[in-house]
């Protein structure tokens, strides 16, 4: 009988110890973590991917989009810094990491958006410089500057060509190419053809005696070379029209809503998983 009582007391103490352990090591830390993490989650809000009316003036306001994205980026970075300070209990580590992953995806989407918006903001400058490369009649050239020889024409065009090529190379950097945007990719493809054409024209001019009078230049190149040079300028005109049309159809609102973000599916799926877990926390 005494043994039974001792066993009963031992089991009771063991159960009590287990309950205390569960409360101190699992329940209480989880409860405290949830209490701390929900306000952090709620700060994100549902509008992170939806532009507020006051953020940009219209669909062409890419400068406004950049500013809005930078403000959001700073805001999300603050939230991430606060989340990192939390020490999740073992039971919450998977959720904690999912939440961190979601914030990283948002930051990535915001950076992606800034790169896109910056590209469309700077693109008109490339158009402006391309227009400087348009074919110029000999009379117009002489009006702008005394250009009477092939060498003078080379000296006139060479810095213009170099400037537009430098601008294009800067715009089509690796940073913009990783976006895998079909419109940007098509502009780049046409741009590469333009660069080849500009190089061809300079090569032709460089192959002719620089002292040759300008009016005799066409007699120093083949009909095929002359046609190819004319095609270069036609292609530039086509590129200018293509870019201007794309600028009109591109929307700053789409950028702010992450519509072209390559990891949009991952962003949405992970956000939904985090949302579901937070909903569970709030129901308990």
pLDDT tens for 53-102 read 567 888 989 999 999 999 999 999 999 999 999 999 888 899 999 999 99
The answer on 175 and 87 residing in a single domain is no
Is the CB of residue 19 less than 8 Å from the CB of residue 78? Answer: no
At 109, list the tokens. 């989407």
Tokens 């070379």 locate to 225
Q: Which long-range contacts (CB under 8 A, 24 or more apart) does 154-160 make?
A: 154/202, 154/205, 154/206, 154/210, 157/133, 157/201, 157/202, 157/205, 158/202, 160/129, 160/132, 160/133
C-alpha–C-alpha distance, residues 171 and 196, integer Å: 17
Give the torsion sign (CA, 245, 249, 255, 261): negative
At 227, list the tokens. 């046609």
The answer on 240 and 136 residing in a single domain is yes
More confident residue, 185 or 49: 185
The answer on 250 and 164 residing in a single domain is yes
- The total of structural domains in the chain comes to 2
C-alpha–C-alpha distance, residues 230 and 234, integer Å: 6
pLDDT tens track for 158-196: 999 999 999 999 988 877 777 778 888 899 999 999 999
The answer on 227 and 140 residing in a single domain is yes
pLDDT score recorded for residue 175: 77
The answer on 58 and 38 residing in a single domain is yes
C-alpha–C-alpha distance, residues 179 and 108, integer Å: 11
C-alpha–C-alpha distance, residues 64 and 229, integer Å: 40
pLDDT band, very low/low/confident/very high, at 9 (cuts 50, 70, 90): very low
The answer on 69 and 175 residing in a single domain is no
Average pLDDT, the chain: 82
The answer on 152 and 60 residing in a single domain is no
- Taking Cα atoms as reference points, which of 51, 102, 45, 67 lies closest to residue 254? 51
Measure Cα distances from 50 to 55, 116, 254 in Å.
10, 17, 9
The answer on 56 and 148 residing in a single domain is no
The b/e string for 129-140 (b: 16+ C-beta within 10 A; e otherwise) is bbeebeebeeee
Is the CB of residue 82 less than 8 Å from the CB of residue 99? Answer: no
Percent of the residues in the chain that have a pLDDT greater than 70, as a whole number? 82
The answer on 103 and 131 residing in a single domain is no
The pTM of this model reads 0.78
Domain that holds residue 241: 122-256
C-alpha–C-alpha distance, residues 157 and 223, integer Å: 21
The answer on 244 and 145 residing in a single domain is yes
């Amino acid at each position: 009988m005494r043994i039974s009582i001792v066993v009963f007391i031992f089991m009771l103490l063991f159960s009590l110890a287990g309950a205390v352990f569960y409360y101190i090591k699992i329940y209480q830390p989880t409860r405290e973590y949830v209490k701390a993490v929900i306000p952090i989650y709620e700060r994100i809000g549902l509008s992170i991917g939806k532009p507020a009316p006051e953020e940009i003036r219209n669909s062409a306001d890419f400068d406004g989009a950049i500013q809005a994205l930078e403000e959001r980026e700073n805001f999300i970075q603050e939230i991430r810094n606060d989340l990192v300070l939390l020490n999740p209990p073992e039971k919450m580590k998977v959720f904690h990491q999912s939440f961190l992953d979601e914030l990283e995806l948002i930051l990535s989407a915001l950076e992606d958006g800034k790169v896109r918006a910056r590209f469309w903001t700077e693109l008109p400058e490339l158009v402006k410089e391309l227009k400087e490369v348009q074919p110029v009649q000999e009379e117009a050239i002489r009006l702008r500057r005394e250009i009477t020889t092939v060498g003078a024409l080379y000296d006139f065009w060479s810095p213009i060509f170099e400037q537009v090529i430098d601008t294009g190379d800067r715009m089509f950097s690796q940073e913009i190419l990783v976006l895998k945007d079909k419109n940007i990719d098509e502009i780049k493809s046409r741009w590469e053809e333009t660069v080849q054409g500009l190089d061809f024209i300079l090569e032709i001019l460089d192959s002719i005696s620089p002292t040759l009078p300008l009016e005799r230049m066409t007699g120093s190149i083949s009909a095929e070379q002359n046609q190819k040079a004319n095609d270069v300028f036609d292609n530039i005109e086509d590129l200018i029209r293509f870019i201007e049309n794309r600028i009109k159809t591109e929307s700053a609102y789409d950028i702010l809503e992450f519509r072209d973000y390559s990891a949009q599916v991952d962003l949405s799926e992970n956000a939904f998983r985090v949302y579901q877990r937070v909903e569970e926390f709030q129901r308990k």
